[in-house]
Every structure is written in structure tokens, then in C-alpha cells.
Amino acid sequence: AQTVTQSQPEMSVQEAETVTLSCTYDTSESDYYLFWYKQPPSRQMILVIRQEAYKQQNATENRFSVNFQKAAKSFSLKISDSQLGDAAMYFCAYSWGTSYGKLTFGQGTILTVHP
Amino acid sequence: NAGVTQTPKFQVLKTGQSMTLQCAQDMNHEYMSWYRQDPGMGLRLIHYSVGAGITDQGEVPNGYNVSRSTTEDFPLRLLSAAPSQTSVYFCASSPGTGPHNEQFFGPGTRLTVL
């Protein structure tokens, strides 16, 4: 069974600093995608970044980047120059080739940003 | 485009009552799904649909029914509400069933069952 684990229930960071959120997953599939979703207090789920398993290069979206370690089945999210608006719950998620669009989510990490 | 809309935003039910959570999308997406979010458990898939007239069960389908008569709408029915169904419910849609597709989420419905 595919599982996604986020071992950090809560993290905090000072404004303008860098923080890394951890995610590990378990799968026997070779064709899969990994995602980070952000859920601010408004409850709206927003896609932050996605990574294709076949791509060795780590995905980057502005201040957000990932460290994808395929052999270790690790997919961490790095937020650089943290801003107050980055405060949210962050979910790691996984989808595989024959999943018909289904997402498997981790437990979530609450990120607090201190001014 | 309104994207994915859900009604109501909040609902309180008594044990045994039934209700339908509405979900609609105006992006002509083939794929739609329902998730529930519970503290410490992330989001879990309840039911999904790969197109009008086609539905299937997800990870936690018990106590819920769905139907997909049109591309736009995907209602979730609770037949006899139980306190264990107290949760936040999200509807999502995506252009296709490939694993690369971004899921677009509605704003969620907070349901409390007393």
C-alpha cells in the first residue's frame, strides 16, 4: 500500500529565514508524482509544487524548492525567505500512474512564521 | 470561472439525519472526487468519478453515496449521519486521471454531527 508520512506535526520559522518540511513515502510504483499542497487558515487547498519521479532535477517554484531523494523515498519542501503569508498547513501528497487521479496525503505540518 | 464550488460551508446535523453536500465545477473537468480531512490524518479519499455516470469507492466510503449524472456536479450524500462523520469535506476536480494532474479543490464544508 502507498503511504505518505510527515513526521513534523508543527514547525516554526522566523520571517526571511529558510525552513524545510519533511516527507517520506512508501511505494513499489515506478511512475508517480509527488506534490506539496498549502492550506492557509482560509481552508483553501493550493498546489505549491509538484515533482515527477522520472525527473532527477528537483522542482523549483520561486521561493519553494524540493529535495527529491528517490532511493530514500524522501521529498522535502524548502521555503526560502519565509514570509508571513507562508503560515499554513502543508500537505505532502502522492499520485501514481494507475491511481486514476487519486491522491494519498500525509498527515500535514503546521508552519508558523514569526515576524 | 468560479472553479470548484461547495455548499453549504457549515452544517450541523443530528445523528441519523441525512443530507447532501453539493459540489460543482465549471472547468469541464472529467475527474472529480471527495475527501474528508480529520486532525492528524490528512485528507482521505471517500469517492471519486472519472466521468459522468462512472463512480468508484476511495479509502473511506462507508456511510456515503455519490452519483455523477453530469460533468459539472458531484454530490455527496450522507444517508444516516453519525458522529464519526464530523469532519471537513473537500470536493476536488482535475482535467484528467493522469498522476501529473493538479487537483483543484473547493473551499470545503465543515460538518458537525451531534
What is residue A75's predicted lDDT score, i.e. its pLDDT?
97
**CA B87 to the chain's CA centroid:** 12
Using a CB-CB cut-off of 8 Å, the residues of chain A touching B2 are: none
Regions of chain B where pLDDT drops below 50 = none
Answer yes or no: are the C-beta atoms of B68 and B82 closer than 8 Å. Answer: no
What would the grid cell of residue A73 be? 523515498
Question: Does B88 touch chain A if contact means CB atoms closer than 8 Å?
Answer: yes
Q: Where are the beta strands (DSSP E) in B10-114?
A: 10-13, 19-25, 31-38, 42-51, 54-57, 64-66, 76-78, 87-94, 104-105, 109-113
Q: Which of A91, A99, A102 sits opposite B42 (nearest CB)?
A: A91
The whole-angstrom distance between residue A108's C-alpha and the CA centroid of its chain comes to 9
Q: Within an 8 Å CB–CB cutoff, is residue A100 touching chain B?
A: yes
For B58, residues 6+ apart whose C-beta sits below 8 A from its C-beta are: A102, B33, B34, B35, B44, B45, B46, B47, B48
- Residue B58's closest chain A neighbor by CA? A102
Query: Is beta strand B64-66 parallel, antiparallel or unpaired with respect to B76-78?
Result: antiparallel
* Residue of A86 and A97 predicted with greater confidence: A86
Q: pLDDT tens, A99-111? A: 777 899 999 999 9
- B32 phi and psi angles, rounded to 5 deg: -135, 155
Predicted local confidence at residue B2, as pLDDT: 86
Count of Cβ atoms closer than 10 Å to residue A60 Cβ: 12
Contact A97/B at CB under 8 A: yes
pLDDT at B68: 97
Please give the Cα distance from A15 to B108 (Å, whole number): 29
Q: CB of B89 within 8 Å of any CB in chain A? A: no
Taking the alpha carbons of A50, A54, A60, A66 in that order, is the dihedral positive or negative? positive
Residue A96: band (very low, low, confident or very high) from pLDDT cuts 50, 70, 90: confident
User: How many CB pairs below 8 A link A and B?
Assistant: 68
Work out the percent of chain A whose per-residue pLDDT is above 90.
85
